Structure 1
Amino acid sequence: MAMSMSMQWRETQGKQLHDPFFLKSAADTCRFCPGPIIVGAGPSGLAVAACLKEKGIPSVVIERSTCIASLWQLKTYDRLRLHLPKQFCELPLKAFPKDFPTYPTKQQFLAYLESYAKEFDIKPAFGESVESAEFDAGMGMWRVRTVLFGKEIHRTYLGRWLVVATGENAEAVVPEIEGMEEFEGTRIHTSVYRRGNEFEGKKVLVVGCGNSGMEVCLDLCNHNARPSIVVRDSVHVLPQEMLGRSTFGLSMSLMSWFPVQTVDRFLLFISWLMLGDTAKLGIKRPDLGPLALKSISGKTPVLDVGTLAKIKSGDIKVCPGIQRLTRKGAEFVDGISEDFDAIILATGYRSNVPSWLKEREFFSEKDGMPRRPFPNGWKGENGLYAVGFTKRGLLGASMDARRIADDIEQCFEVEANQFMVFSCSPN
C-alpha cells in the first residue's frame, strides 16, 4: 500500500531546501513548497512550524535576520524577563524546563527557543528578506519573492499556503516630535538599549510608559542614572502578583466565574491597596478597567516590577507630554523645560505587513493587523493565515498556531498530491 503524503513527509523530516521533494528551477531562483510558507522565525513562526511537523506536514520558514527570535536576541535589554508566568508563555508541544523560575530571563527564554527549534528540526532560510507576497489566482498559489541579505540574489517561493508570522513587533516606532533633530544628546529607541551602565550619572528622559519604558527606568536607577518618564496618556499599573498569585493567572481564573467588569473592579481595588493612588504620582488610570480596555483596544496594563516604588521615592520623576524637544532637553505641555543628557524612546513597535503583503482584505493597510479581532483573526482567504497578531502575547500565538496547523491538515494531503506534479519555471 502506498504511503500517505503525511507518512512520506515524516520519513523525510529534517531535510532542508535540497530535499528531492523541494523542487527547484535550473537557475535556482524559483522554488516550489509542498507545504506552507512561513514568513518569520520568531516564537510565532516556530510554533506553527512545530505544530505542522508534529502532523507530518513540511514547511519552509523564511527569516530576514540571521537567527531565530531576532527581536528577543538583538533588540531587547539585558534585564528583560517574561512578564507573565512561564506556563502562560510556553509554545505548543514543549514545556519550559522545570528548573526555570516562574518568570524566565531573556537568556533562559532564548535557550528554550533554541531547544524548541532543535527538537522539531526547524531550520529557517536565514538572511532572506521578503520583498513581496501575493496570491496568483491563475496558479492558485502564493508567490513569495525574497532578496538575500547583502546580495543581489532574489528567490521566489511558490506554495499553496502562506503563514504571516512577522507579528505585531516587526518595526520600531519612532514618533515625530517637534525639535527631534535639534536635540544634541544621545537619542535611541529601546530596541538598541541594553543596560543602564552606559548612562551612569546622566539625566535620561524615557518617552513611553508601557512595560518597556517602566522597566528601562528601573534599570537606569539601578545603574545610578537619573531617569524621568513621560506619561502622556492614562495607563493601568497593576502589581505583577497579588494574593500570592500572578495577576494574570488570577485574572484568568476569575474570568471563568465572573464578568469582566467585576474582575476589573476587583483588580483595581487590590491594586489600590497595594500600590496606592497612582494618579497622585502623575499616572492617571483610564476610565475603562484593565481587562475591558485590553479586550477593546489591545492596550496592555503595566505589571509593576519595582518601578513604582522608585517613583514614590523620587528616584524616577514623572513628566507630562512633550511639547517639543530643544537642543539641551525638552519642553513639556505644562510649560516647564528641563535639560537631559539622553532620550530613550520606549515607543513600541508595529507590524510591517503592508510593506510586503499584496493583500488588502485580511490585513489592514493602516496598522498591518488582521481586520477581524481575536479570536477570528488567524485565517484569511486562499490559504492565508496570521499568527502572532492577537495582542495576547505568546499565549495567543500558541492558540493560533494550533488552529492553523489543524486547518491545513484537513486539506493537506489532497492539495499536496495535486501540486506535487507542479514544475516551476525560472524567473
Structure 2
Amino acid sequence: MDSSCKEENGNPVNSSWVHGPIIVGAGPSGLAVAACLKQNGVPSLILERSQCIASLWQERTYDRLKLHLPKQFCELPFLSFPENFPKYPTKHQFISYMESYARHFSVEPIFKKAVETAEFDHVMQFWRVRTHDSEYCSRWLIVATGENADSVIPAIQGIEKFRGPVIHTSVYKSGSEFKNQRVLVVGCGNSGMEVSLDLCRNNAIPYMVVRNSVHILPREMFGISTFSITMELLKWLPLRLVDKFLLLVANFTLGNTERLGLRRPKTGPIELKNATGKTPVLDVGALSQIKSGKIKVMEGVREITETGAKFMDGQEKEFDSIILATGYKSNVPIWLKGTGFFTKDGMPKTPFPNGWKGGNGLYTVGFTRRGLLGTSSDAINIAGDIAEQWRIL
C-alpha cells in the first residue's frame, strides 16, 4: 500500500493506494474471496467495521445456533471443516473454522474501519473508498458485506409504549434470561422458530406471531439432510417436481401444518427461495412444541400496548418481553454511490449466477441467496477474473 491519492477541499486526507482489490467486509464472503485471490497470487485489503472476523456469527447470534445445512455445503474454498466436527457444526465450531481459515491463508483485515462511502472516480479510473479517517484507492472494489448486514426493525403500531424490553434476535443470547416470562416472538422464520424453541426449553412461554405463509420442511428426510436430497434431485428433475416431492415428504413426516396456523405458500419452497430469497424453515424441534401447545401460534399483531399486544383476530394478551425475529437486510445502498448495480434493497440487479460482476472493476460476493455455497462460487469466479487482469498489468 502506498500513501498517495489526493487532498479533499484543500485538506490532506490520509490516503493509500491499494495494489490489489479492496474488499469491504470480513465475514465468510470477504475471507473466501481474499483466500481465492491469494491462491491466484493477487494481494487484497479487507476493511471491516467491527473488531473481529465473521461479526454476525460472533456478535449477533444466539448461543444454541447450529448450521442448518451439513458441513460439506458450508465450507469455503480450499479448506475443509475438521474431520471431527459433527454433521451440523455449532456456532462456536463455525467461528473456530473461520478463524483457522483466516490464519491458514494469512488474511488480516483492518478492523474498526467502517466504510462511509465508496465511489468510482471516472477521471482517475479507480475506486475511492472512505472511512472516518482514511481514503483507500484501488482499481477493484469487492462488496462482501452480504445480505445480512443490518437488522430489520419493523414499524409496529404502539411498540414505543411497551413497558418491557423489546430486542431483536441479533442481541438474543439464551432463553435463560426469560425464565417463566410470557414472550412475544414476532416472526416465524428459522430464527423465530429456534428462539421460540430455546425459550420453551428454558421454561418461558413463547407466543410466535405468524404474519405470512411459511414453508416448514424436516431438516432430514430418511436420515439424509433435506438440503442434500434437494441438491441431488435438482440435477435430474425439474424444479417444480422436486418441490412437489419435498412437500409430499414434509406432509407425511410433519403432518398438515395449516391446522397449526402455519399456512404454506402457494409457490413451492425452492421456487420461492429462488424468486424472493425467502428460505424454508428447517425444523429442528419447534414443530413438536407447537403441536403440544408449548409454543403458541398467533396471527398478526394489530398493535402493541403498554403491557402486551392486540392481535388481528381480536385477541389481547399480556407479555413480559418482545423479541423481533424479523431478519436482516443489506446495507449497500447506504455507502456504495453512483453504480446503479444494486437494487434499492441492496441486492445485485443481475440474478444468480451472474450477479458477481459489475462495471469498472466492481464485484460482489455473498449476495446469491444461496448461502455459503453461493459465496464459494462467487469467490472463485471473482478471483479468476481479477487474476487475469492482474497478469496483464
Q: Does the TM-score normalized on the shorter chain lie above 0.5?
A: yes
Q: Where does 1:275-424 land on structure 2 (aligned, <5 Å)?
A: 275-364=254-343, 366-415=344-393
- Displacement of 1:360: 3.7
Q: Where does 1:24-423 land on structure 2 (aligned, <5 Å)?
A: 24-25=3-4, 29-147=14-132, 154-364=133-343, 366-415=344-393
Q: How many residues align?
A: 387
- Displacement of 1:24: 1.4
Aligned counterparts of 1:28 and 1:328: Cα–Cα separation in 2: 52
- Displacement of 1:28: 7.6
Secondary structure in 2 aligned to 1:129? coil
Quick one: which amino acid aligns to residue 351 of structure 2?
P
Aligned counterparts of 1:244 and 1:75: Cα–Cα separation in 2: 31
Identity of aligned residues (%): 61
Aligned counterparts of 2:352 and 2:177: Cα–Cα separation in 1: 40
Aligned counterparts of 1:297 and 1:266: Cα–Cα separation in 2: 21
Aligned counterparts of 1:368 and 1:289: Cα–Cα separation in 2: 25
Secondary structure in 1 aligned to 2:2? coil
Report what 1:424 is aligned to.
Answer: none
After superposition, the CA RMSD in angstroms is 1.0
| 1:207-226 CA distance string (max 9 Å, x none) | 00000110000000111100
Quick one: which amino acid aligns to residue 118 of structure 1?
R
Report what 2:9 is aligned to.
Answer: none
Secondary structure in 2 aligned to 1:410? helix
Aligned counterparts of 1:268 and 1:25: Cα–Cα separation in 2: 59
- Displacement of 1:166: 0.3
Aligned counterparts of 2:159 and 2:165: Cα–Cα separation in 1: 11
Secondary structure in 2 aligned to 1:234? coil
Structure 2 gap segments, 5+ residues each: 6-11
Aligned counterparts of 1:49 and 1:305: Cα–Cα separation in 2: 34
Post-superposition, which runs of at least 4 consecutive aligned residues in structure 1 deviate over 2 A?
A: 25-28
State the TM-score, normalizing by the size of structure 2.
0.97
State the TM-score, normalizing by the size of structure 1.
0.90
Aligned counterparts of 1:24 and 1:91: Cα–Cα separation in 2: 33
- Displacement of 1:413: 2.6
Please tell me whether the aligned partners of residues 74 and 373 of structure 2 are also in contact (alpha carbons under 8 angstroms): yes
Bigger shift: residues 97-106 or 291-300: 291-300
Structure 1 gap segments, 5+ residues each: 1-21, 148-153, 416-427
Aligned counterparts of 2:338 and 2:207: Cα–Cα separation in 1: 42
Quick one: which amino acid aligns to residue 409 of structure 1?
A
Please tell me whether the aligned partners of residues 41 and 387 of structure 2 are also in contact (alpha carbons under 8 angstroms): no
Quick one: which amino acid aligns to residue 75 of structure 2?
E
| 1:370-413 CA distance string (max 9 Å, x none) | 01111111100000000111111111111100000011011113
